[in-house]
Structure 1
């Protein structure tokens, strides 16, 4: 979820909205593993730790103590307005960059890391998590750990790389939450909860993804690049308009979105993104 503080802002907003959907994770096993691979896997498992469970997964995640994300050179290139090919290339390179950055971050915690799947779609397809929300330009489904990115005329009107990089990094932030156990805590907390409680938890989840996405954007800001004036315009636009696609207020008010974007960008680290212990006014 990002916006652009220029004359293109109204057009870019539709392209840069996002939503996450969660269902109970599916687990399984794979047959046919060789002895050497099994041994290597056992050694890796011995080093890896299970993520915290329950409330601690969100409020005291070890990711908050991993310091800044690595500075990355994604070399994602430019997006040509109206060009689906250039947009797909850009998104793919940003996802690869996110994979490397978050793999490094997870290694600091000994938590298991795996890459999400990426799927492009020219229509709002149904996913294992349900329908694609009408107001969303993309989404993350935790059931199959897949990031869905829409490739539509409206999306392709916006050729500003920083807007799209922030949007993609937000969706990837939901994958980070999934791996860290935060999404499991979210899912169990909203089970049979009241509507107001569900919305409050959803805001904490979405605003954290805003923050994590902005932390990554900071670490690629020189490579992309992200000019200070452009960043300020993005934040100002979100502050005024960020809530307009989410009438139920499940993503937070514009001022809340802008606040967590700035926290993530200024920190360049997950340490600034603990929405779960923030006072209610900061996640309104």
Structure 2
């Protein structure tokens, strides 16, 4: 018997424009921006905030021309080193949150105490966890700027229960893919070679590991494959998760 054709989602006219044919995919490569980061140990809120500020500056300089080429006005984000219980524009920060992007104020919130814990695994591990996570959250900022997240959020009420999970995975995998496009474009200045590159690959393939019951960020394999494609392409053109067959966003 012939194998079944890959199952791909369908969208209305607005979804076709915002998700499938978004101009971000044809906006060209993410540029290298000679990213220089402070070589600080992430052992205090002050050190974490310093590192996050510097890395966010690299992300904004790299993504601004891409977003502008997509025909959208670029707006800066903000980044905050917070702890469990901190008030944010999207509610109270919980320990389980680790880090998130808040569209209400274009803010990226990081649990700085968790980054201090990462230093126990080594300086490289802490830095690469921070870079990959920050690049992912900034990917959500890009999605917000170009209208992808607006359509995704508006469509949220059209489905219920487990049907939420596949579009969530497409949304999250795309944010990670955007992050890897930036990291690939800036491989040289970020010194993503040798042990640092292997640390990046490990972080970029994290995904929904067992015993996770809510499959909302994609499997390790799906994360690794989208990350690898974007890292090599250095472009959001490699990140159209919205037209991918369901098994590619498992």
Q: State if a TM-score over 0.5 links the two structures.
A: yes
Counterpart for residue 243 of structure 1: 208
The counterpart of 1:278, out of the listed 234, 244, 250, is 244
The counterpart of 1:156, out of the listed 109, 116, 119, is 116
Structure 2 counterpart SS, 1:191 = helix
Where does 1:227-266 land on structure 2 (aligned, <5 Å)?
A: 227-236=193-202, 239=205, 241-244=206-209, 246-266=212-232
Counterpart for residue 102 of structure 1: 63
Cα RMSD between the aligned structures?
Answer: 2.1
Q: Name the CA shift for 1:170/1:246 in 2 (closer, same or farther; >3 Å).
A: farther
Quote the Cα distance in structure 2 between the aligned partners of 1:143 and 1:258: 30
Quote the Cα distance in structure 2 between the aligned partners of 1:193 and 1:111: 29
Q: Name the CA shift for 1:247/1:125 in 2 (closer, same or farther; >3 Å).
A: farther
The counterpart of 1:141, out of the listed 102, 105, 110, is 102
Residue 127, structure 1, aligned to residue 88, structure 2:
yes
Where does 1:72-91 land on structure 2 (aligned, <5 Å)?
A: 72-91=33-52
Counterpart for residue 28 of structure 2: 67
Quote the Cα distance in structure 2 between the aligned partners of 1:133 and 1:254: 24
Query: Is the contact between residue 129 and residue 141 of structure 1 (CA under 8 Å) also seen in structure 2?
Result: yes
Q: CA deviation at 1:254?
A: 1.2
Q: CA deviation at 1:237?
A: 6.0
TM-score (norm. length: structure 1): 0.75
Q: CA deviation at 1:68?
A: 1.0
Q: CA deviation at 1:218?
A: 1.2
Quote the Cα distance in structure 2 between the aligned partners of 1:54 and 1:134: 34
Paired residues, what number? Answer: 231
Residue 222, structure 1, aligned to residue 188, structure 2:
yes
**Structure 2: 5+ residue runs without aligned partners?**
1-12
Query: Is the contact between residue 203 and residue 252 of structure 1 (CA under 8 Å) also seen in structure 2?
Result: yes
Structure 1 counterpart SS, 2:187 = coil
Q: Name the CA shift for 1:125/1:86 in 2 (closer, same or farther; >3 Å).
A: closer
**Structure 1: 5+ residue runs without aligned partners?**
1-51
Structure 2 counterpart SS, 1:140 = strand
Q: What whole-Å deviation, never above 9, does each CA across 1:96-122 have from its counterpart, x for those lacking one?
A: 111111111122122111011222212
Q: CA deviation at 1:234?
A: 3.8
Query: Is the contact between residue 211 and residue 261 of structure 1 (CA under 8 Å) also seen in structure 2?
Result: yes
TM-score (norm. length: structure 2): 0.84
Query: Is the contact between residue 135 and residue 179 of structure 2 (CA under 8 Å) also seen in structure 1?
Result: yes
Structure 2 counterpart SS, 1:148 = strand
